[in-house]
């Protein structure tokens, strides 16, 4: 004990101490006792260890002093917390003390859950600490304590029951055969007794026991586990209840997931589970049974039941229930992934007549028979299962699943198939698994279309799902096919040829080890296709680029494997018996050794001297939008070519480029002659020589990275004339800057050696360069800044002019580049002293940079001033946390300088200044904002009166930030009074937001409190809550079902078709009644839409009494409508109102109609029409006859004149 007290430093009450300030009586008692115990331990000179706390708590519990309920509860809770941290040896010494006390407490405090919960936890820990090698019969009260835990695990109170189940897990987790022998007999006896007593009317205790066994069953002995399992299976066969059955199956799932019972016992239990018959209409039970069958099969890893289970479970896919179909498909997929391996393939004999059909063949046969109409509702999920089987079998799929693949092809060719996406996924997985070659052997293209339909969709599948394939097949089969189709000359065949060539990038998507050898045979046909067939050039260039870049990336990223790892993988591959998964799905990543990847690049580089000239020659005839693809192929091939060969080719390119630029005068004369010959139509077209200069310049970019330093200088001299702003070809200028940018990026030594010349060149062409080259020029400036010495501050300042002006460019990328350069210069200037770390020196350097930018505010044009303001805004935001801007004195001067600009009349300057104010609200100290608030409000008020309100939104945003910084009253006092409405609106919106936020928080707190209270007071039994809800749902569904009546025919309830008459109760409300309305005398009222054209006999007319009654009813109706109008406004009468009320019987509401189709609220006067003669009549209780049509502006529209005249025709006479 002393050893434990001296070495244990764990604080078991850390969580209690963290919640010491909780205002609850129970927590207060616990904290008070804990504080007292800690003081007593410290007074004795001991350390507050778990053992010390345990000794004092035990003494307090058995001292015989009368204690209150709160004190006893606090002591027991502290004991339950500290016991897990006390050693078993200490607890064994105190067992005799605890045994009798715990039994007495359990019997005495059964009605008190607050006391009973810690007692249960203490009991579980005490039982676990004992030496279970000694029989429990020799240890007094130990079996009684355990049996009390079993009894409490069946308690009707959920919290007590859950705590007792937790204690049982604590006892069982002791481990060893000793504890199993002690607890298994009594547990088995209790379980069999409870299950035997259960019946269909009362099985509550059985449900509670099963809930306890979910976690406790694996800790029992094998014989006990088997016996209890048989009892549970007998129970669910006796009591047909879906919830009880689901709990039993969940218990078995936990059992199979554990490591407790032996494999033999689990196998016996699994065989009994397979014999359980579940009702076909009980969907939850079917789902639970399918899950446990799958879990058990995966646990046992035995194939002797796989066929029976797969067959039985596949029959469930005939259901139309989506949930059952989804769960069943997931179970079947797990079986395929787990059990389909090399062993099953080896069982397939070449002569199937001599041996029984293998497991894999039976699974394939089941899947082949699943594409019938019996499984139509689950075809989508079955197709995904087929895709899983294709992926698992890999290359073996071509021999085993060829029949299934042909079935899928037939479904694809039928246009009425309901699951096209899942079908395409299955076929795509197949082609990715077995490869395009074997796939096309089973499903040929049939491009002739003579005996079979064309399968062009196969080309789409290959292009979409295959990432890398054997290039020899493409060279041997597909290239000759594409050539033959092209030679045919038909338009459709030409299109098919192009589709075949589009597959070449797919074959090159992932480099395979065989590519090094296969490319030797593919090089010649690829070269011929490049030169002769225009349509094949882009796919070939894409394929070459992809295979080179992907192989280089694998080497650079270290995705190639070493020789040692290669040998290990080869050994695993050869040992097929130990290999669970096999086959290679071509969609997976292929691993290459470093040697294989290097050989691929070498084999490609051997043909550099052939492909590079061919690609060079393609640039001229290729359209401009396709040239980047060729240039990327050139750059990729240059990256793997020999350095001497690269220099040779570059010299040739440079020579041609130099020739094209030195004969400028001749080029101009040729351009003029061409323009005179071709006329005005081609004046804007580029001349051949100009176009040649452009693509040669682009070609030079591909060589820059791999050039020697001397060659780089030569290239710079060639492109230097292109950078002259006097050059009229602005496109050539932009391309020249691209070359320069590439040189600066990849050759920093060249930049350092020529930095003065480069800087002067860029500064001298500051104002005259084209706007298209701004972005690239700024990138060049960034590279120059990286190579400048930090002390060269003047060189950095000289280039700021163009950068500041570029922040106003319309191109977003150019603006972003300008801001990046500004920030780069700021950081360089703030830390230009290489060995200085003084914060004051850094602040002075940054201050100097701000001074340079502020000098731009004295510019002569609003554009320059606006650009300077935006540059200052960006730098202010970047250095908002710096010491310079944190200094109130400097920040005050800086802000004063900027606010003065509000006096300008330029809207461009004002717009930039308002943007700066937004940044200042965040970046500058609050005291500086408050000090300059009067000037700021005056400036904002000056522009708030701007006529077109261009800046109203941004001024409102600035005012919101000012109110947040300085308060509402100072802002209101200083802001012009004519704009106080704007401030009032801001305040109102803010108050609404705060109020809404507070209400949301209060509602959440109330809701949480109500939930906590309901959970405490009305917590349901979780084992029966689901059952009661399901019963209520079934009851509700039955109540909501009605039988549709037919007054003409008698319903035959024995007829199966009578189920079609069952409908929902709510549906009757939405159906239009099939009877005519009647008046007060019971007569049918038939409404006539056109009273003027209808001619009625005198005998059909109602008498005056009836008319009077009808009008009285109409008057009452009008009164009720007035009372329903709660808004208090006058409601205009609408004669179409009755028709619109019929919307509830299925007509569309006019709110959903377009504006032009809505009927206008008019009073046509038709209710005053006489039914016996022409003219109007007085109606009782009504006004004098009148017609009302609201005048609307659309009546004045000349285009709607005819419609307006038609609307007024019934009420006006035409003048003759």
Rounded to 5 degrees, φ, ψ at 45 are: 80, 20
**58 near 50, Cβ under 8 Å?**
no
Q: What is the mean pLDDT of residues 967-988?
A: 81
Residue 586: pLDDT band by 50, 70, 90 thresholds? Answer: very low
pLDDT tens per residue across span 794-809: 556 667 877 888 888 8
d(CA 699, CA 657): 10
Across 1050-1086, b (16+ Cβ under 10 Å) vs e yields eeeeeeeeeeeeeeeeeeeeeeeeeeeeeeeeeeeee
* Pick from 345, 330, 251: nearest CA to 298: 330
Predicted pLDDT at 905 = 83
The answer to which of 131-135, 379-383, 621-625 has the lowest mean pLDDT is 131-135
Alpha helices in 754-811 (DSSP H): 755-764, 774-787, 793-798, 800-806
pLDDT tens per residue across span 153-186: 888 888 888 999 998 988 888 777 888 888 889 9
Locus of tokens 């470093």: 594
Residue 61: pLDDT band by 50, 70, 90 thresholds? Answer: confident
Which pairs from 193-199 meet CB under 8 Å and 24+ separation? 194/154, 195/231, 195/232, 195/234, 195/235, 198/235, 198/238, 198/239, 199/238, 199/239
Q: Flag whether pLDDT at 1072 surpasses 80.
A: no
pLDDT tens per residue across span 201-234: 888 999 999 999 988 899 899 999 999 999 999 9
Residue 1043's DSSP bridge partners are 1062
Residue 1078: pLDDT band by 50, 70, 90 thresholds? Answer: low
Rounded to 5 degrees, φ, ψ at 215 are: -105, -20
Locus of tokens 């009798």: 100
pLDDT tens per residue across span 246-282: 899 999 999 998 887 888 999 999 999 998 888 888 8
3-class SS shares of the chain: helix, strand, coil, % to 5: 70, 0, 30
Alpha helices in 1082-1197 (DSSP H): 1104-1124, 1137-1141
Residue 1063's DSSP bridge partners are 1042
**913 near 869, Cβ under 8 Å?**
yes
pLDDT tens per residue across span 695-715: 888 999 999 998 888 889 989
Residue percentage of the chain with pLDDT more than 70: 77
The answer to which of 7-21, 202-216, 258-272, 754-768 has the lowest mean pLDDT is 7-21
To 5 degrees, how large is the angle CA 722–CA 724–CA 729? 60
Which pairs from 617-624 meet CB under 8 Å and 24+ separation? 617/531, 618/530, 618/537, 619/695, 619/698, 619/699, 620/691, 620/692, 620/695, 622/537
Q: Is 396 helix (H, G, I), strand (E, B) or coil?
A: helix
Question: Residue 1062: in which H helix or E strand, if any?
Answer: strand 1062-1064
- Evaluate if pTM is beyond 0.75: no
Q: Flag whether pLDDT at 945 surpasses 90.
A: no
Residue 291: pLDDT band by 50, 70, 90 thresholds? Answer: very high
Q: What is the mean pLDDT of residues 452-459?
A: 87
d(CA 522, CA 1064): 69
To 5 degrees, how large is the angle CA 52–CA 54–CA 57? 110
pLDDT tens per residue across span 82-93: 888 888 888 888
Mean per-residue pLDDT of the chain: 78
d(CA 1119, CA 1137): 15
């Amino acid at each position: 004990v002393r050893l434990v007290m001296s070495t244990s430093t764990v604080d078991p009450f850390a969580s209690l101490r963290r919640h010491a300030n909780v205002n609850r009586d129970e927590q207060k008692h616990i904290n008070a006792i804990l504080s007292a115990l800690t003081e007593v331990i410290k007074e004795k000179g001991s350390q507050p260890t778990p053992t010390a706390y345990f000794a004092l708590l035990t003494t307090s519990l058995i001292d015989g002093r009368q204690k209150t309920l709160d004190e006893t509860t606090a002591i027991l809770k502290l004991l339950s917390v500290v016991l897990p941290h006390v050693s078993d040896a200490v607890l064994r010494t105190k067992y005799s003390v605890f045994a009798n006390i715990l039994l007495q407490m359990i019997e005495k405090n059964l009605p008190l859950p607050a006391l009973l919960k810690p007692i249960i936890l203490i009991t579980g820990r005490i039982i676990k600490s004992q030496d279970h090698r000694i029989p429990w019969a020799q240890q007094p009260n130990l079996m009684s304590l355990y049996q009390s835990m079993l009894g409490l695990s069946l308690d009707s109170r959920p919290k007590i029951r859950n705590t007792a189940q937790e204690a049982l897990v604590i006892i069982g987790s002791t481990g060893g055969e000793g504890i199993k022998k002690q607890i298994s007999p009594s547990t088995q006896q209790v379980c069999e007794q409870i299950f035997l007593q259960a019946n269909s009317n009362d099985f509550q205790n059985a449900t509670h026991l099963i809930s306890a066994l979910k976690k406790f069953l694996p800790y029992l002995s094998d014989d006990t586990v088997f016996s209890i399992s048989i009892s549970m299976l007998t129970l669910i066969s006796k009591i047909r209840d879906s919830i009880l059955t689901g709990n039993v199956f969940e218990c078995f799932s936990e059992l199979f997931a554990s490591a407790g019972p032996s494999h033999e016992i689990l196998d016996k239990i699994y065989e009994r589970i397979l014999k359980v018959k579940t009702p076909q209409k009980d969907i939850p039970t079917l789902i639970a049974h399918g899950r446990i069958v799958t879990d058990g099969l995966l646990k046992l890893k035995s194939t002797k039941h796989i066929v029976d289970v797969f067959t039985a479970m596949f029959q469930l896919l005939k259901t139309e229930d989506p949930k059952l179909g989804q769960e069943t498909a997931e179970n079947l997929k797990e079986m395929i992934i787990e059990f389909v391996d090399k062993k099953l393939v080896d069982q397939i004999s070449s002569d199937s007549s001599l041996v029984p059909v293998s497991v894999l063949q039976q699974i394939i046969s089941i899947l082949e028979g699943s594409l019938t109409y019996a499984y139509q509702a689950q075809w989508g999920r079955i197709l995904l299962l087929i895709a899983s089987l294709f992926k698992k079998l890999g290359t073996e799929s071509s021999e085993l699943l060829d029949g299934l693949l042909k079935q899928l092809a037939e479904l694809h060719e039928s246009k009425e198939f309901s699951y096209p996406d899942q079908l395409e996924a299955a076929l795509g997985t197949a082609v990715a698994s077995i490869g395009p070659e074997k796939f096309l052997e089973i499903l040929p293209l049939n491009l002739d279309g003579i005996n079979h339909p064309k399968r062009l969709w196969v080309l789409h599948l290959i292009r979409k799902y295959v990432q890398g394939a054997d290039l020899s097949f493409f060279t041997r089969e597909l290239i000759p096919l594409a050539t033959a189709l092209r030679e045919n000359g038909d338009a459709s065949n030409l299109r098919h040829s192009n589709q075949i060539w589009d597959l070449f990038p797919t074959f090159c998507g992932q480099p395979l080890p065989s590519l090094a050898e296969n490319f030797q045979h593919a090089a010649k046909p690829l070269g011929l296709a490049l030169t002769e067939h225009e349509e094949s050039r882009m796919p070939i260039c894409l394929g070459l680029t992809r295979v080179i870049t992907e192989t280089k990336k694998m080497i650079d990223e270290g995705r190639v494997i070493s020789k040692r790892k290669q040998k290990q993988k080869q050994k695993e591959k050869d040992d097929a018996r130990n290999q669970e998964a096999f086959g290679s799905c071509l969609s997976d990543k292929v691993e290459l050794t470093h040697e294989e990847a290097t050989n691929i690049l070498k084999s490609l580089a051997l043909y550099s001297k052939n492909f590079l000239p061919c690609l060079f020659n393609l640039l001229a005839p290729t359209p401009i939008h396709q040239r980047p693809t060729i240039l990327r192929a050139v750059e990729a091939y240059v990256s793997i070519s020999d350095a001497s060969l690269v220099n040779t080719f570059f010299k040739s390119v440079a020579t041609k480029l130099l020739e094209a630029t030195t004969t400028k005068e001749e080029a101009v004369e040729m351009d003029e002659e061409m323009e005179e010959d071709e006329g005005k139509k081609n004046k804007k077209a580029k001349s051949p020589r100009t176009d040649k200069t452009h693509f040669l310049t682009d070609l030079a970019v591909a060589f820059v990275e791999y050039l020697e330093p001397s060659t780089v200088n030569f290239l710079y001299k060639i492109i230097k004339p292109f950078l002259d702003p006097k050059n009229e070809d602005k496109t050539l200028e932009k391309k020249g800057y691209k070359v320069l940018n590439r040189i600066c990026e990849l050759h920093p030594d060249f930049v350092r050696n020529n930095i003065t010349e480069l800087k002067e060149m860029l500064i001298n062409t500051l104002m005259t360069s084209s706007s298209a080259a701004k972005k690239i020029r700024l990138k060049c400036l960034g590279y120059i800044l990286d190579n400048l010495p930090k002390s060269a501050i003047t060189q950095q300042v000289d280039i700021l002019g163009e950068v500041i002006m570029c922040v106003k460019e319309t191109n977003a990328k150019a603006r972003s580049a300008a801001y990046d350069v500004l920030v780069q210069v700021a950081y360089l200037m703030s830390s230009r002293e290489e060995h200085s770390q003084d914060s004051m020196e850094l602040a002075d350097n940054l201050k100097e940079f701000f001074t340079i930018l502020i000098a731009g505010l004295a510019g002569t044009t609003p554009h320059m001033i606006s650009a300077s303001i935006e540059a200052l805004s960006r730098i202010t935001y970047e250095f908002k946390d710096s010491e310079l801007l944190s200094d109130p004195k400097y920040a005050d001067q800086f802000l004063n300088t900027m606010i003065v600009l509000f006096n300008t009349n330029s809207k461009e300057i004002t717009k930039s200044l308002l943007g700066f104010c937004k940044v200042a609200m965040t970046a500058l100290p609050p005291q500086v904002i408050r000090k300059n608030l009067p000037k700021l409000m005056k400036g904002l008020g000056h522009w708030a009166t701007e006529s077109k309100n261009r800046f109203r939104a941004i001024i409102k945003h600035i005012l919101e930030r000012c109110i947040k910084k300085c308060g509402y009253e100072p802002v209101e006092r200083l802001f012009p009074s004519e704009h106080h409405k704007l401030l009032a609106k801001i305040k109102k919106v803010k108050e609404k937001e705060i109020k809404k936020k507070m209400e949301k928080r209060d509602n959440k707190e109330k809701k949480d409190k109500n939930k906590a209270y309901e959970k405490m007071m009305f917590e349901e039994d979780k084992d029966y809550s689901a059952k009661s809800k399901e019963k209520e749902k079934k009851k509700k569904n039955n109540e909501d079902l009605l039988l549709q009546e037919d007054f003409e025919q008698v319903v035959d309830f024995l007829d199966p078709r009578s189920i079609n008459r069952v409908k929902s109760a709510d549906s009757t409300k939405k159906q239009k009644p099939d009877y005519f309305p009647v008046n007060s005398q019971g007569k049918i009222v038939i409404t006539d839409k056109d009273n003027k054209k209808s001619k009625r006999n005198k005998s059909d007319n109602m008498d005056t009494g009836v008319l009077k009654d009808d009008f009285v009813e109409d008057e009452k109706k009008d009164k009720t409508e007035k009372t329903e109008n709660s808004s208090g406004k006058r409601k205009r009468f609408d004669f179409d109102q009755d028709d619109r009320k019929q919307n509830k019987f299925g007509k569309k509401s006019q709110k959903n109609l377009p504006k032009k189709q809505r009927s206008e609220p008019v009073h046509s006067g038709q209710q005053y029409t006489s039914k016996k003669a022409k003219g109007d009549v007085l109606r009782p209780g009504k006004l004098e006859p009148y017609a009302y049509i609201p005048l609307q502006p659309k009546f004045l529209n000349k285009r709607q004149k005819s419609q307006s005249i038609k609307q007024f025709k019934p009420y006006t006479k035409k003048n003759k």
